[in-house]
Amino acid sequence: MEMTVSNFDELIQQVKQKNVKDGGKKKVAVMCADDEEVLAALVEARDSGVADSFLVGNKERILKVAQESKLDISNMEIIDESEIAKIGEICTDLVNSGKASVMMKGLVATSDYMRAVLNKEKGLRSGKLLSHVAVFDLPTYHKFLAVTDAAVTIRPTLEEKAGLIGNAADVMRRLGVRKPKVAVICAVETVNPEKMPATADAQKLSEMAKAGKLGDVFVDGPFALDVAISKHAAKVKKLDYMDVPGDADVILADDIESGNMIYKCLCNFGQGRSAAIVSGAKAPLVLTSRSDTHESKYLSIVLAIATSGN
């Protein structure tokens, strides 16, 4: 994006303005689009000027779902195909050919969706680690806050954590953050390699960043979550002289359990809005859960479009 945005309302406006400047909306390729909530999010994306879409899947079922849900998809392109593997191949081909900028999961098993993405010949592999990046717009925080990884990377190695940082930092740069601040989250701020190996990883990642091995990004830790996002906590613990404490752009969790707990807590108790994508492929992937709200699905499309292409 051309300038830093701090909430989803600003991001939506920037996407719409860029679409006008570029002469048209980018498109989302939807795998198995016969899902009411997904179609509703796509209709909102179209009507709000964010994105258009290719609806790939069984045409009869797609039209039936739209009719029963009273959703107008009359000007959306439907590509009729019933075989799961072929639907996935069509979607990845739309992205690889440049006709679509984003791929989105519809009413299909995550394993089938990712199988299409990871196909060695026709998928969307880029050579980078794929990781889940969730972005939150919270009333209690002064800017966007990203969390990684809550859904894809189960127990990342040190090398994989570096990859997680790279993907999340790239997302934040595309939201206008020139040099993202990454807080490596642990339970304490002291390094204890024997009993708390996550703290040792945090120290190593901080050293790697200072040596310029992680790109244009601030990385520091170990920090407890409060230190990462609260200037008061950072001051009390005498860490407010550092760049990251109290002003983190990205929260890096140690593993999928801690990442998922942070993510779900912010979703359910944060009283804010959220979006999530899988980063690291040739194009952003919208991989929403059946339990995600309609708003979250729509905002995930917004985030994917905002972070795709140039």
**Residue 159 sits in the same domain as residue 211:** yes
Structural domain containing residue 294: 8-126+281-306
Is 249:181 a contact under the CB 8 Å cutoff? yes
What values do phi and psi take at 46, rounded to 5?
A: -65, -50
Domain contains 180: yes
174: enclosing H helix or E strand: helix 158-174
Beta bridge partners of 286: 104
Alpha-carbon distance values, 232 to 9, 238, 246, 249 (Å): 28, 10, 7, 17
Domain contains 3: no
Q: What is the pLDDT of residues 122-173, one digit of tens each?
A: 999 999 999 999 999 999 999 999 999 999 999 999 999 999 999 999 999 9
Domain contains 222: yes
Per-residue pLDDT of the chain (310 residues; tens, 9 = 90+): 457 899 999 999 999 999 999 999 999 999 999 999 999 999 999 999 999 999 999 999 999 999 999 999 999 999 999 999 999 999 999 999 999 999 999 999 999 999 999 999 999 999 999 999 999 999 999 999 999 999 999 999 999 999 999 999 999 999 999 999 999 999 999 999 999 999 999 999 999 999 999 999 999 999 999 999 999 999 999 999 999 999 999 999 999 999 999 999 999 999 999 999 999 999 999 998 777 888 999 999 999 999 998 6
Round to whole Å and give the CA distance between 218 and 22.
33
**Residue 136 sits in the same domain as residue 255:** yes
**Residue 73 sits in the same domain as residue 155:** no
- What CATH code is carried by the domain that includes residue 256? 3.40.718.10
- What CATH code is carried by the domain that includes residue 300? 3.40.50.10950
Round to whole Å and give the CA distance between 155 and 63.
41
Round to whole Å and give the CA distance between 121 and 134.
28
Number of domains in the chain: 2
**Residue 165 sits in the same domain as residue 231:** yes
Domain contains 274: no
